[in-house]
Amino acid sequence: MYSTAFLDIPALATAGGSVQLPGSKSISNRVLLLAALSRGTTTIHDLLDSDDTRVMLDALRALGCGVEDDGQATHIAGLGDTRPMAAQTLFLGNAGTAMRPLTAALALLGGEYTLDGVARMRERPIGDLVDALRQLGCRIDYLGSEGYPPLRINHAEGVPTLELDQPIRVRGDVSSQFLTALLMALPLVADTQEVAVEVVGELISRPYIAITLALLDRFGIAVENENWQRFRIPAGSRYQSPGSIHVEADASSASYFIALGSIAPSAVGKKGIKIQGVGLDSIQGDIRFVDAARAMGAEISGGPNWLQVERGAWPLKAIDLDCNHIPDAAMTLAVMALYADGPTVLRNIASWRVKETDRIAAMAAELRKLGAGVEEGPDFLRIIPPTAAQAWRAASIHTYDDHRVAMCFSLAAFNPAALPVRIEDPRCVAKTFPDYFETLFSVVQAAAQVPVICIDGPTASGKGTLAAQVAQRLGYRLLDSGAIYRVAGLAARGAGLDIAPANAVTIANLARSMALRFDGAQVLLAGVDVSDAIRTEQAGMDASRVSALPEVRAAVIDVQLAFRSLPGLVADGRDMGTVIFPGALLKVYLTASAAQRAERRHQQLLARGLDAKIADLRADLEARDARDMTRSVAPLKPAQDALVLDNSELTIEQAVDQVLAWWQQRQPFAQSAAG
C-alpha cells in the first residue's frame, strides 16, 4: 500500500491481465457483527483486510468476542446469550458500516458505551437512526452536535422496557445503513414477539438492504420484506452461526476494473481484463454496474465468481441513468463519462452527500480540474467531457480522505492528451482496497517510458541513502545498482571465483541468475538478507572490480532495466544517467569532498562496531574514485544534463528536499500539491 503524500500516475495506454479482488467491505462488516451476535463460532473466509474491518474487529474484541486469525480464515466466537463487556469507549474511525450497526446493536444489548470516530465521522448524520432507537425507548445521548456522533448509550442498568408493539419508523432517503442497522439489531429483542420496521419515504440503495436480508437469512433470521416499505422479523428469531461463510469480492471495487477494461485498449497478447472473486450472480447490488458499463459500450461476459471486460464502442456512449441501484459504483461512471461522446447524467445520487465526504461536490470539483464541464444538483451530476485532447489538463486530485475518489480518478491517466494524474493521499484506499494501486499497476502499461530519477555519484557520497528516501517519498521502486554489483561480487566469492577477466563469463552467468530483491533497506538474495554482507569494505572493492568486467556489465544491464516499472523508479549508481537510463527525466550527480565522505564512512563503521583510520578511508576512497573515473567502460562522470548536488554541508533531509524540488519543477501539477 502506498503511504506517500501523493502518487503520480504516468499517462497509461493499454491494459490486460487478471486481477483478484479483495472481499466486500459491506459484506465483511455485516458478517463480522452477525457472527458476534450469534451462538457458536463462525469461520469467515476471504474477509476484507482494511481500515474499516480492522475497526470492527477491534470493537468486537473490546466487547468480549473471541477473535482469531489463523492466516487462512477469521474465527469469531459469538456472544450468544452473554452480554458484551460494558462501559466501553469504541473508536470507529470513519467506518459507517461499523458505527451505524454497532449503535443499534449495543443499544439493544444493554450496557454503557461511548462511540466516536475521526473528524469526518462527526460530520456524518446518525440522527434518524438514533430517533428510531429512541422510539423504542433506548437512551442515547449526543456528546457533540445534535444528530451526529459521538454518542453515549446509557443502559448501565440494562435495557429499559422497549416499545415493540408498533412498527419502528425510519427514513429511507438518507442512508440505507440506518435500516440495515435496525434489521441487524432487532432480532436481539424479537424472541417473544414479532418486530416490524416501517420505511418513511422512498428507500434509497435497495441493493444494500438486499445484501443485509440475504446475510440475515444465512444467520437464521428470515425477514419478511413487504415491497421494501415494511420489514417483519418473526417472533422467536435468534441468531445462529452458519459455521462457515465466504465473503464475496467487492462489486464496488470491481467497478474500477470493469471501467479499466471499458476504457483501455487491450495490451499486446492480452484479451482485456479478467476480474476474479465476483461474478454475474453476485448478491451485491453494485454488480449491476455491469449493465451501465455495457450501456456505455463495454463488452462484458462472466460466470460464477468471474468477469471478463474488453473495450467495445469508442468513444464510450453517453448515458442518462438513475443510479439509485448502484450508489457507490456510480462514482466510477463519472470518470468513465470523461471518455464519452457527449454529456452523461447521473441521477438519484443524493446519498453521495452523506458518505465519507460530500461526494457530489467532490466529484464535480475534481472533474473540472481535468477539463470537464460539470453541472451539479442536489441529487445529480451532468458531466460534459473535454471536447478534444488539448482540452484535457493535468490535475492533482484531492481525495477528501475518500477511498472511492482516489480509485476512480486513477482511470483519468488514460486521457488522450497523455497527461499524468496525481492522486493526493493515496493511503485512503486502505478503507476498502489497500493494494488497489499495486493491483492496477500489475495490469496496465504506460503510454511512454516509465519515469526515472537517476542519482549518480562517487563512493560514499550518500547517494544510496538519498535515493532510498526519494523513492520512499514518491512511492517509486528503488534500484541500488551498486548493490547489484556488490551481490555479484559476493556470489563470485561464494563460488570460489577470483574476480578477474578469466572468470568474467562465469561471473556474468551468476549475475544473470541472481534472485535479487530490494525491500526497503534490506537486500535479499534468494530470500536471504545479505544487507550487512555487501556493505563491508571488501564487498565495495569487489563491486568496483566486478563492474569493470564488460561481460558482467552486459549481464547486469538487463537486470537493471527490468527494475523500471510503474509508477516510477529511482536508480542510484555511477552510470545510471549516462548509460542505463540516458533518457531519465531527472539526473542528479551527488558529490561531496573526499574528507567529508571519509568522515561519513568512519561514522558508519563505528555504528557497526568497527574502526578504521580516517586517513586510510580517505586514501581508499580517492583510489577508488580514480579507478572508477578512468575505467574503459562507463567511467564515472556526470551526465551532460545532470544537476550537480554537493551535499558536503547538507543534511540528508535537505538533500532529499532539493531533489524533490527539482522533480516537482518537471511536473505539470500545481506546486502546492507537492506535499
Catalytic residues: 328
| Whole-angstrom distance, CA of residue 90 vs CA of residue 63 | 9
Q: Collapsing DSSP states into helix, strand and coil, what is residue 203?
A: coil
- Sheet holding 74-77: strands in order across? 66-69, 74-77, 41-45, 244-246
| Whole-angstrom distance, CA of residue 533 vs CA of residue 490 | 8
The candidate with the shortest Cα–Cα distance to 481, out of 601, 598, 566, 561, is 561
| Whole-angstrom distance, CA of residue 660 vs CA of residue 675 | 10
Other beta carbons within 10 Å of 285: 24
Q: Half-sphere exposure of residue 280, counting CA atoms within 13 Å on the CB side? A: 9
| Whole-angstrom distance, CA of residue 340 vs CA of residue 320 | 12
The type of residue at 535 is R
Torsion of CA 212, 217, 223, 229, to 10 degrees: 30
Q: Collapsing DSSP states into helix, strand and coil, what is residue 46?
A: coil
Question: Facing residues of 8 across strands?
Answer: 422
430 Rama class: left (phi>0) / alpha (psi -120 to 50) / beta: alpha
C-alpha distances in angstroms, 186 versus 72, 89, 231, 323, 635? Answer: 32, 22, 11, 29, 76
* Start-to-end C-alpha separation, the chain: 18
